[in-house]
Amino acid sequence: MKIGANRSDRRSRWLNIAVAGELVRDPDTVLRRARANLELLQANHPRGQGAKWLREWEKLLDGSVDEVLDVLTSQTPRARELRANSPFAGVLSSEDRENVLHAFQTHLQPRVS
């Protein structure tokens, strides 16, 4: 993990890696949901820093799936900011989300041999 990534950032990345799994399984459905969510987010946040990241998401969602996958899984500061303004709410089922969070919590600390 890159320096600067706190627990919340790592948790978000784990969740977004699971979203990336859904994206590679069914890109059309996941991107359709993200675009619908993005439209709602942009209506509620027309200005400010959040609006900047939502415009970035709009460009990404109109680009290649590979670029979206990179942001969902990357450890860069830019990717962390984008994930903090993610349009992928509802892509994971409640059960899948809870499973990812449980795995994250379980594996948060390094194992001692």
Which of 5 and 111 is assigned the larger pLDDT?
A: 5
Provide the number of structural domains found in the chain.
1
Q: Is residue 32, in this structure, part of any structural domain at all?
A: yes
The model's pLDDT over 41-67, given as tens digits with 9 standing for 90+, comes to: 999 988 888 899 999 999 999 999 999
Identify whether 64 is part of a domain: yes
Question: Rounded to whole angstroms, how far apart are CA atoms 4 and 10?
Answer: 10
Tell me if 13 is assigned to some domain: no
Residue 25 CA: distances (Å) to CA of 76, 77, 86: 24, 27, 19
Structural domain containing residue 81? 28-89
Residue 112 in any domain: the answer is no
62 within domain boundaries = yes
Query: Is 42 among the domain residues?
Result: yes
- Residue 79 belongs to some domain of the structure: yes
> Band of the pLDDT at 3, cuts 50, 70, 90?
very low
In a domain, residue 15? The reply is no
H-type helices in 1-113, by residue range?
Answer: 7-25, 27-44, 48-61, 65-73, 77-84, 94-106
Is residue 76's pLDDT more than 50? yes
